[in-house]
Chains A and B, each alone.
Chain A
């Protein structure tokens, strides 16, 4: 079976190492930075040997940003909670609206179905700032500005088209006859949707939800414009690290580590579903 020569194996190993180094080095460097003080970070030449400190993490978690010259209050943990809450709630709402819609677009051919689906996708094309300016005024008039509800609603612009189009593809890949077989065996449409369509599209829905979560998590501009300090996610809250007395690299690094941790954990957890999703193709035929 294995016809690869040892030389080729070595070459391959080197290539993979180079690629990993290239992509992982910034992350690695950020991890190192998060355990250093600003002083050691900024020393020239930089060194990977230093005395590790937990002061950055301590500062973030306690909410006291201690710099060389001053002490500043920072709301990182509440930002992190906002991020978590906004992203989770947005994805949940997106799934509740998007999955049934995706099923309808995949299974039912109705007048204008393609147009509606495309219109929903086109939300992704619009430059966010262009949408935001009028939206800010509306939101202020409606009392939605600076509310979780308002933000979750706006986040649907990112989340909903993504979920809709990814999940639709998965539903389309399930042979309709499997559902028909279930229905003709004495089950109603709703039971069939729950017991057959949803589980079979499960990996796709998980993948779409994960992707939507990451997009929502990384969103910056919507929250920047529509939320004030107490509703801000980490992406916006990170601006606070740029203080009058300089940029707090150590805290930024620790903040990055803390803020990528949830998505990273989620991705690791969802990985098996993603793999399942790819191997689902074997069902067909």
Chain B
């Protein structure tokens, strides 16, 4: 595997350097050839700015971008050999959908038969063969978005940039196309970076996810790592649905056992060997910590800590139960219809292997389960 795209110390300021808005802060990232990367984050986190710097629509304030062995941050978009699907579709309004898709291939003077074959292939994949003769303004937003996606995917570029590629699609179609697009990209050995705020999309499509917040790359890892070992409190609470439960806790040693005081008279007590010695030492040294546990990992157990139900929602395939717990609210997910009513007392158990511990001040992960982060 070779590194196709390398971002080194990339900064973006809107306005004067060091004075303007610092939209992207010191991003370092290696993307391997053939990888699908998702830039995941909420609005204004810098993910689109990062993408546009790679495309060449935004100047890079500092740092270097290396693509396929060439430093490209100073090159105009035309010389970077990247393809892009835009969030606003940006189809050329004066030509048909089909011509839009074939545009770059025709400009590159590919034989007509080859262009037609490629257009057929990509439009069949995206289910838009029936609108090829229509004009962009006369088709729906979802169709325009797929046409824009087709226009990018049909190209034989070093890197494909997809900005919110499926935001306008209906849920069923989105699920179907996710699989097809991934297959299409993988089959051709293309490298793609997609920007999304939909974590399901990121998890389903991407080999690795780059979580961004406030212009800072929070974590760049596989979906599994991000789920099992979030690098910090932000990643932990941002990725995962419903979000991770977080409580402030104070760790102390109680007769050899590790006790976590959650306030409000609530204690969680763990056996001496529940955590690795270094984890235990760290927790006792830090004392004040943030404790995170995913809703799927919270189990009801008659011997558990007490909580009082405030909501019980059946979503058709799972129950979301919210309960007051310690000084906050805990959410747990059960796969069957839960037989609890609002006001009921329940007891929950937080297993040591499911606990994520974060630094109280910096939010950096200290431990995941029994092991150090």
Give the interface of A toward B (CB within 8 A): 175, 177-178, 180-189, 196, 199-200, 282-283, 285
Known: A196-B92, A200-B94. A183 touches B86 (CB 8 A): no
Chain A residue at minimum C-beta to C-beta distance from B103:
A185
Q: Is B107 an interface residue (CB 8 A)?
A: yes
**Chain B: interface size category:** 20 to 34
Chain B residues with CB under 8 Å of A189's CB are 76
Chain A residues with CB under 8 Å of B87's CB are 177
B90 x A177 contact (CB < 8 A): yes
Cα A182 to Cα B78 in complex, Å, equals 9
A188 x B78 contact (CB < 8 A): yes
A181 x B151 contact (CB < 8 A): yes
Q: Output the least CB separation between A200 and chain B (Å).
A: 7
Contact of B104 among A178, A186, A199, A283 (CB under 8 A): A186
Known: A185-B104, A189-B76. A283 touches B84 (CB 8 A): no
Known: A186-B78, A186-B108. A180 touches B94 (CB 8 A): no
Q: Is B88 an interface residue (CB 8 A)?
A: yes
B92 x A177 contact (CB < 8 A): no
Chain A residues with CB under 8 Å of B148's CB are 181
A283 x B76 contact (CB < 8 A): no
Give the interface of B toward A (CB within 8 A): 55-57, 76-78, 80, 82-84, 86-88, 90-94, 103-104, 107-108, 136-137, 141, 148, 151, 155
Chain A residues with CB under 8 Å of B55's CB are 180, 184
Cα A30 to Cα B148 in complex, Å, equals 57
Cα A199 to Cα B55 in complex, Å, equals 25
Cα A181 to Cα B88 in complex, Å, equals 11
B76 x A183 contact (CB < 8 A): yes
Closest 6 CB pairs of A and B: A177-B90, A185-B104, A283-B93, A181-B90, A177-B86, A178-B90
Chain B residues with CB under 8 Å of A185's CB are 83, 103-104, 107, 151, 155
Chain B residue at minimum C-beta to C-beta distance from A284:
B88
11 A-B pairs whose Cβ atoms sit less than 8 Å apart in the complex: A177-B87, A178-B92, A180-B55, A180-B84, A181-B91, A184-B56, A184-B84, A186-B104, A186-B108, A188-B78, A285-B141
Chain B residues with CB under 8 Å of A199's CB are 94
A184 x B94 contact (CB < 8 A): no
Chain B residues with CB under 8 Å of A181's CB are 84, 86, 90-92, 148, 151
Q: Output the least CB separation between B76 and chain A (Å).
A: 7
Chain A residue at minimum C-beta to C-beta distance from B56:
A184
Q: Output the least CB separation between A114 and chain B (Å).
A: 15
B107 x A186 contact (CB < 8 A): yes
Contact of B78 among A175, A178, A187 (CB under 8 A): A187
Chain A residues with CB under 8 Å of B76's CB are 183, 188-189
A282 x B90 contact (CB < 8 A): no
Q: Output the least CB separation between A277 and chain B (Å).
A: 13
Contact of A180 among B86, B103, B107 (CB under 8 A): B86
Q: Output the least CB separation between B67 and chain A (Å).
A: 13
Residue among B90, B104, B137 having the largest count of chain A Cβ atoms under 10 Å: B90
Cα A247 to Cα B309 in complex, Å, equals 98
Known: A183-B77, A199-B94. A175 touches B107 (CB 8 A): no
Chain B residues with CB under 8 Å of A188's CB are 76, 78
Q: Output the least CB separation between A194 and chain B (Å).
A: 13
Cα A236 to Cα B83 in complex, Å, equals 59
B77 x A180 contact (CB < 8 A): yes
